[in-house]
Amino acid sequence: MDTSANSAFEQLLGASAQTVETELRRLLSDHPRAGEVTRPLHLMQAARHGVLNGGKRLRPFLVLESASLFDAPPSAALRVAAALECVHCYSLVHDDLPAMDDDDLRRGQPTVHKAFDEATAILAGDGLLTLAFDILADDDTALPAATRLALISGLSRASGFGGMVGGQALDLAAEKSMPNEAGIITLQAMKTGALIRYACEAGAILGGGSDEDRERLHGFGAAIGLAFQLADDVLDLTADATTMGKATGKDAAAGKATLAGLHGIEWAQAQLRGLVAQANELLEPYGERAAVLMAAAHFVADRRS
Which residues are at the interface with a copy of itself (CB under 8 A)? 32-40, 42-44, 47, 90-91, 94, 97, 99-100, 117-120, 122-123, 125-127, 129-131, 133-134, 136-139, 145-146, 148-149, 152-163, 165-170, 172-173, 186, 189-190, 194
Nearer to a copy of itself, 172 or 247 (CB): 172
Nearer to a copy of itself, 103 or 280 (CB): 103
Nearer to a copy of itself, 154 or 209 (CB): 154
CB of 102 to a copy of itself, least distance (A): 10
CB of 31 to a copy of itself, least distance (A): 9
CB of 280 to a copy of itself, least distance (A): 25
Nearer to a copy of itself, 44 or 237 (CB): 44
CB of 30 to a copy of itself, least distance (A): 9
CB of 174 to a copy of itself, least distance (A): 11
CB of 264 to a copy of itself, least distance (A): 26
| Beta bridge partner(s), residue 110 | 105
Nearer to a copy of itself, 40 or 285 (CB): 40
Nearer to a copy of itself, 195 or 290 (CB): 195
